[in-house]
Amino acid sequence: MAYGFRDNILRVNLTTREITVEHPGEAFFRKYLGGKTLAGYYLNKEVSGECDALSPENKVIVSASVITGAPIPGSSRFSVCAKSPQTDGFGSSEAGGFFGPELKFAGFDAVIIEGKADKPCYLWIKDGEVEIRDAAHLWGRATGEVQEAIREEHGDKRIRVLQTGPGGENLVRFAALTNELKHWNGRCGMGAVFGSKNLRAIAVRGTQKIEMKNQPDVLAFTKWFAEASKKAEGVQEFGAAGTSSLVTILDSMGILPTRNFQSGSFEDAAKICGSRINEELLIKRESCYACPVRCKRVVEYISDDAAQNIDPAYGGPEYETLGAIGSNCGVSSMIDVCKGNELIGKYGLDSIATGVTISFAMECWEKGLITAEDTGGIDYSWGSKDFLKIIESIGERKGFGDVLAEGTYRASQKIGKGSEKYAMHAKKMEFAAHEPRGKWNVGLGYAVSPQGGDHVVVEHDHCMMGEPNMDPDYLGAGDIYPMMKWGIREPIDPIGLSHKKVVMFVMLQKMWAVCDTLDLCIFLTEPSRRLTSMEHITKFVNDICGWDMYLDELIQIGEKATVLGRLFNAKCGFGAENETLPDRMFEPLQGGALEGMKMDRAEFEEAKKIYYDITGMDRDGKPLYGKVCALGLEELWFE
């Protein structure tokens, strides 16, 4: 009997309509576990480096993990991987919610989608049965309507729908996927890959329980977590405020991305901060599968003008959205930001890329590189009155929105006139709402992450600088953060990229990749509010699967996720020259507490070299053959 995993990988070819199920066996699941690592294996094995990301040759892999569906807090997540239409390299995006566990309850560990349907379709999975169904009636409709229609069609409100929106249908390069309208596989354009395959959604319903080898210990952990989280102040605060409280915190530190990363401080930060939204618009908090923390926001606004109403079905903005479409676009209106969040949800876009692409265009407008003639009369000044219209034009690829739907990098290539220097991206993927000049680790992460401008790569610098984080009691469970076990016992400055800091970066990247492999929520495993330690994780993997895995084995599988991403990028022709940051990061930050701060280019380049050396990459950032063999990935090697 398989414990934890199902040993069922579903393969659906949309061109031939062939549906098959593969059973790779226990050794395979112990080697790859799931999530980004399992999906990264299939991507390397089956997708060519040359293929166009929006062509039928690309494949999209949706993967849960060996622990998904067990009642572990934070185990709600799943990964979606494909060649990215944004970066033209390794694309991977994780989301929480309920879809991942439901896929397991329906009998599958992962789904591989190949080819392209000849007309709009969606995939219907119910307890091991799979069907490709017509989606002509769903095409062009908002995500909320589609979720409702699919549930009505099957007469079951508990169906979990993973879908892209009209943005994905229109091949907006940063189109996303959503489940429950509130949880997002936001980064890397996975929604555009769905759209390119004429695939609107995967709807799933399952009733099969997950078998666990040592169920009593798993349930004991869950009970302990529920009780400990009630006592842990950090967890309680996080549940109450979510990530939205970061707006004013980062503003006071001078690292709130403002007006396209020109400044680190926004004069109206207090107007769009989480506490204000919570006081005025929050109607409830929600959660992901099996998580007692309930950090997800749900906001509502009812106006005399119905067009201004904000629909709670789309949740509420989290920090990344507030930063990207708020301060970074100079938008001071809380209602506009929340309405923008709703629109982005309806069109199925990545809120980070949407905000950073609009802020890029706003800076082009400010500098006179685009005018009303280019934009069809739409105003692109900071905090524009046309802000919501701009989002719609991107989702519909209409007018100048069609240019922006290509993302900052490609839009800057079209606009020209030196606009390239205002495109805030790494590997063509827009920066998240975190300012590298005040968090150099995050800058290094943007550059060397296989996905490009991704903020979920390693612990952010400020979590490593103060005494409290070095105090075992502060960590809730009495566990000591792994970096301390691995020999780094003193606080590290967020400014700078010392050798020691790069060593820590590498350690933490492996740990965070364990979370992306097991599809665990990082909010429950980081220092300021973490209750779940790496030892807990190792134990519950073994309790669920009946294995005897050591922590080292688990960490090595996390490392595999990054190496698989880098190997795929090398296959796509990436080199060290793709691992850069925009010039702006090496120029002084304007305004705020860190006014004048800039990254040091020589230190950054040196850090990259050390990173390559420690992680077993050649000078171009490609994994060395020895590293690939050490991780048991030699079948994927190429010269």
- For residues 626 and 415, give the distance between their C-alpha atoms in angstroms, rounded to a whole number: 44
Smallest distance, Å, CB 180 to ligand SF4?
11
Share of the chain residues as helix, strand and coil, in percent rounded to the nearest 5:
45, 15, 40
166 counts as binding ligand SF4 under rule CB under 6 A: no
Smallest distance, Å, CB 568 to ligand SF4?
27
- Which residue, 90 or 289, is less far from ligand SF4 as judged by CB? 289
Cα→Cα distances 632→91, 179, 399, 557, 560, Å: 22, 34, 50, 10, 9
- Which residue, 72 or 448, is less far from ligand SF4 as judged by CB? 72
293 counts as binding ligand SF4 under rule CB under 6 A: yes
- Which residue, 231 or 421, is less far from ligand SF4 as judged by CB? 231
- Which residue, 288 or 537, is less far from ligand SF4 as judged by CB? 288
- Which residue, 35 or 85, is less far from ligand SF4 as judged by CB? 35
Give SS3 for 163: strand
Smallest distance, Å, CB 435 to ligand SF4?
23
467-489 in b/e form (b: 16+ CB < 10 A) is eebbeeebbbbebebbbeeeebe
- Which residue, 101 or 166, is less far from ligand SF4 as judged by CB? 101
287 counts as binding ligand SF4 under rule CB under 6 A: yes
Residue count at the site for ligand SF4 (CB under 6 A)? 13
Smallest distance, Å, CB 295 to ligand SF4?
3
Smallest distance, Å, CB 466 to ligand SF4?
22
- What is the x/- site pattern for ligand SF4, positions 508-527, by CB under 6 A? -------------x-xx---
Smallest distance, Å, CB 529 to ligand SF4?
9
8 A C-beta contact, residue 346 and residue 142: yes
**Span of 285-293, 474-482, 563-571, 620-628 interacting with ligand SF4 by CB under 6 A:** 285-293
Give SS3 for 594: coil
204 counts as binding ligand SF4 under rule CB under 6 A: no
DSSP state of 577: G
288 counts as binding ligand SF4 under rule CB under 6 A: yes
* Element (DSSP H or E) covering residue 429: strand 429-430
Residue with tokens 């606004």: 301
CA 5 remoteness from chain centre = 23
Smallest distance, Å, CB 203 to ligand SF4?
21
- For residues 525 and 127, give the distance between their C-alpha atoms in angstroms, rounded to a whole number: 32
Among residues 110, 250, 277, 291, the one that binds ligand SF4 under rule CB under 6 A: 291
8 A C-beta contact, residue 105 and residue 207: yes
Residue 614 tokens, joined = 């420690």
- Which residue, 294 or 539, is less far from ligand SF4 as judged by CB? 294
- Which residue, 241 or 358, is less far from ligand SF4 as judged by CB? 241
8 A C-beta contact, residue 521 and residue 219: no
Residue 21 tokens, joined = 């199920």
- What is the x/- site pattern for ligand SF4, positions 563-582, by CB under 6 A? --------------------
Smallest distance, Å, CB 34 to ligand SF4?
16
Q: Where are the alpha helices (DSSP H) in 47-159?
A: 99-105, 143-154
Smallest distance, Å, CB 451 to ligand SF4?
19
Among residues 66, 171, 188, 295, the one that binds ligand SF4 under rule CB under 6 A: 295
Q: How many CB atoms lie within 10 A of CB 250?
A: 27
Residues 69-88 that bind ligand SF4 (CB under 6 A): 74, 76
8 A C-beta contact, residue 93 and residue 185: yes
- For residues 573 and 255, give the distance between their C-alpha atoms in angstroms, rounded to a whole number: 33
Residue 483 tokens, joined = 């970096």
8 A C-beta contact, residue 47 and residue 60: no
Smallest distance, Å, CB 238 to ligand SF4?
7
Smallest distance, Å, CB 224 to ligand SF4?
16
Smallest distance, Å, CB 388 to ligand SF4?
27
Q: How many CB atoms lie within 10 A of CB 20?
A: 11
316 burial level (CB within 10 Å; 0-12, 13-18, 19+)? buried
- Which residue, 98 or 547, is less far from ligand SF4 as judged by CB? 98
Residues 96-135 that bind ligand SF4 (CB under 6 A): 96
296 counts as binding ligand SF4 under rule CB under 6 A: yes
Beta bridge partners of 18: 13
- Which residue, 289 or 568, is less far from ligand SF4 as judged by CB? 289
Smallest distance, Å, CB 292 to ligand SF4?
8
10 counts as binding ligand SF4 under rule CB under 6 A: no
Q: How many CB atoms lie within 10 A of CB 37?
A: 30
- Which residue, 296 or 346, is less far from ligand SF4 as judged by CB? 296
- Which residue, 180 or 336, is less far from ligand SF4 as judged by CB? 180
Q: Where are the alpha helices (DSSP H) in 214-297?
A: 215-231, 233-241, 246-253, 274-280
Beta bridge partners of 617: 623
Residues that bind ligand SF4 (CB under 6 A): 74, 76, 96, 287-288, 291, 293-296, 521, 523-524
